[in-house]
Structure 1
Amino acid sequence: MSQVLMAKSEAAVPSDVSTVVQYALAEDIGDGDRNAALVATNTSARARVIARENAILAGAPWFDAVFAALNPAVTVRWSCADGQRLRADATVVELEGPVHALLSGERTALNFLQLLSGVASATHEYVERVKGTDTAIIDTRKTLPGLRSAQKYAVLCGGGVNHRFGLFDAILIKENHIMAAGSIDAAVARAREQSPALFLQVEVENLTELEQALEAGVDGVLLDNLATHVLARAVNMADAHRRRFRRDIVIEASGDISLTNVREIADTGVDRISIGGLTKHVRATDFSMRMYTE
């Protein structure tokens, strides 16, 4: 195992890091790195990764796993931990070991770092905009295929909160489900019958549907693409229902959320705001690796 000399973020590291890294390495290296073969196999080198812009760091476990898979002799020393703020031109991590491993792992390791730091940085921007409210910024299932656990980890590093992981750990009844089932009541009743222990949420597009969902006894409502003044009314309706039945209901807003309007939406009193763009509209953070042979 490569030596990692700094503790990582408090966010739980997903269990599939090694599997994802092995797939990424196979995708890039195939049956052999023809470029690294140009350098003598007994050469050792040092390298450092530099952040070229301000960012929130995420992706260290995947970065570590790349070099651990290529050669256990590679030593990795971090200057900061996932979830911490990076300043432009700061050295993020230093490496030392066989040059073939450093050359072969460079692109794959940086790909993970730039993608996940980009997700964390975008999340952090939204979290900062709603600071001072009780509203959480949460992710969605709109993730890159095969990288869901990694991107959701990055959201946590940026200060966000994870929504359900997939179709198995919570139920979100959306427009097509309602249409297929016949009504909100019918969809909710069937969900309660089949999966009584799961969190049950219904997406609504107007106040009439909201009232139907509340009367059906859901655990949460997703207010989709509602104007701010309508959101405020919806929050009041849900609050009244909470008081009347003495039960909690999670109020979530989603749809057409941006840095421009997220604070206004949070100020309506919603519990959380889900933003698909955190993981699907990714702007990678700029990193570069500089190598020095011994």
Structure 2
Amino acid sequence: MTFRWWTQATVDQLLAEDAPYGDLTTEALGLEAQDARLSMAMRSDATVCGVELASELFLAAGSDVQLLAATGARVPAGALILIAEGPAGAIFRAWKVAQTLVEYLSGIATLTADIVAAARAVSPEIAVVTTRKTFPGAKAQMIAAIRAGGAYPHRLGLSETLLLFPEHAAFLSAAGEGIATLRRAAPEKKVVVEVKTLDEVEAVLPAQPDVLQCEKMTPDDIRVVAARVAERAPATKVAAAGGVNLSNAAAYATAGAHVLVTSAPYWAKPADVKVVIAPD
């Protein structure tokens, strides 16, 4: 079952944003009460996301809906995912908001699923997680989309994870000091430490952080880090971050990363959704 990440207020807000004072064109043409039918289909192979919210947009506008696919489903080109029937006024009011929502979220979900598949083809146990670089105000939608594609959030925000950046370490005598302090303050949390060079790895490794987040390192660098971690801090996980995308996910997985941290899905090309509206 799809997790309901939206509220009725979300539905009402989305409809009001596009038609705050009604649909001038449809009303001026006198079409509001005519029976209409809308079908929504994917133009290419895609992982669907947002179709349940799209359905609620049509219901709230005053039409009946058949859901033919669920968030997280991989559907082939041409597959119908939703049909709405009702007064043309209701169909036209929800049409573009619902279509655009599904296009953006399915684009993110599809790229996420492709990255996950590429990485797990060579390392079945690898985790793919996404950064907190969501578009401000759209976190709920974008996290729902990466979840639909099989990834999890690396950080939802600053309030629930411990991540020691070099920028933090600059205020400390040593990164190891910061790791010890964080473990005392929040012993139930994993301590993640970002490193950018092999020298920084050497400096931090004696403190055995829970996760080494290797920022913008190459797959060859990750291979070296993974070997050092396996020998000297086997409980530490190696996360490749910064520039991880579909073209190199398999290379980082092959190099020995336990985790891929990526922002790439958030800039995915929207999926192309075909909508047909006709008198019913």
Aligned residue number for residue 276 of structure 1: 263
The residue that corresponds to 2:94 in the other structure is 105
> How far 1:17 sits from its partner (Å)?
4.5
1:258-293, CA deviations, whole angstroms, 9 ceiling, x for partnerless residues?
A: 3332211111111111111111x1200011221222
1:135-174 correspondence runs (5 A): 135-174=126-165
* C-alpha distance after superposition, 1:15-70 (max 9, x if no partner): x3544433332321223322332334432321101211221111123212322332
What is the CA–CA distance in structure 2 between the aligned matches of 1:32 and 1:129, rounded to whole Å?
Answer: 46
- Tell me how far 1:182 sits from its aligned partner: 5.0
- Structure 1 residue runs of 5 or longer lacking an equivalent are 1-7
Residue 29 (structure 1) aligned with residue 29 (structure 2): no
Which residue is equivalent to 2:275? 289
2:251 is aligned with 1:264: yes
Partner of 2:237: 250
Q: In the alignment, is the contact (CA less than 8 A) between 1:54 and 1:88 conserved in 2?
A: yes
Q: Are the counterparts in 2 of residues 222 and 253 from structure 1 also a CA contact under 8 Å? A: yes
Which region of structure 1 is more displaced relative to structure 2, 118-127 or 214-223? 214-223
Aligned CA distance change for structure 1 residues 231 and 113 (closer, same or farther; 3 Å): same
In the alignment, is residue 117 of structure 1 matched against residue 103 of structure 2?
Answer: no
Equivalent residue in structure 1 for 2:68, among 79, 82, 89:
79
Contact kept? 2:99, 2:273, Cα under 8 Å = yes
Which runs of at least 4 in structure 1 moved beyond 4 Å after TM superposition? none
Identity %: 24
- How far off is 1:78 after superposition? 2.0
Q: Relative to structure 1, is the Cα distance of residues 178 and 68 closer, same or farther in structure 2, using a 3 angstrom cutoff?
A: farther
> SS where residue 39 of structure 2 aligns?
strand
Letter matched to residue 103 of structure 2:
Q
Amino acid at match of 1:239: A
Q: What is the identity, as a one-letter code, of the residue corresponding to 2:272?
A: D
Contact 1:138 / 1:163 at 8 angstroms: preserved in 2?
A: yes
- Preserved CA contact (<8 Å) 1:203 1:222: yes
Inter-partner Cα distance in structure 1 for 2:12 and 2:175: 44
In structure 2, list runs of 5 or more residues that go unmatched: none
Q: Is contact 2:237-2:258 (8 Å) kept?
A: yes
Mapped partners of 2:117, 2:43: distance in 1: 22
Q: How does 1:8-87 map to 2 (within 5 A)?
A: 8-9=1-2, 12-14=3-5, 16-38=6-28, 39-71=30-62, 74-87=63-76
Q: Closer, same or farther in 2 for the Cα pair 1:82/1:216, shift >3 Å?
A: same
Aligned residues: 277
Question: Residues 122 and 253 of structure 2 are in contact (CA less than 8 Å); yes or no, is this contact kept in structure 1?
Answer: no
